Amino acid sequence: MKLIYGVAGWGIALLGALHMLATVRIPSDRGAYAVWFFGSGLAISLVGALNLLNRAYGSSAAGLRWVCVAGNVVMSALAGVAGIVTGASATELAIVLGLMGGATALSPLRHASRPSALQ
């Protein structure tokens, strides 16, 4: 369970990095759009990092766990809507929502987090 959650966390963080890198393909006359696109990639990466923090410390920090769950739910909904609005392919939607859905399902579980050395 911990391994799968770790893969999902790293996958989300890397997906965000890929999203930020893809910003260079946006035409220069669409500057405001490029800023928002890059910011979205940053938000995706931060949710991935939040999942990795939850995996490492969530068993001893209930507040972290619930902030992570909320971030996953919001990002999953946003990713689904954005994918539909922008006409993402079924494969693209499956990858993004699979990563986000997996992390959303695992983030509230205590046994998906490593036990703290303090416990």
The string of pLDDT tens digits covering residues 78-95 is 999 999 999 999 999 999
- Flag whether 91 is in a domain: yes
Helix (H) or strand (E) run with residue 73 in it: helix 62-86
pLDDT band at 62 (very low <50, low <70, confident <90, very high): confident
Domain tally, the chain: 1
Q: For residue 110, what pLDDT is reported?
A: 80
- Flag whether 34 is in a domain: yes
- Flag whether 119 is in a domain: no
- Flag whether 47 is in a domain: yes
| Dihedral (Cα; 38, 102, 4, 58), 10-degree rounding | 80
> Can you give the residue range of the structural domain that contains 51?
2-112
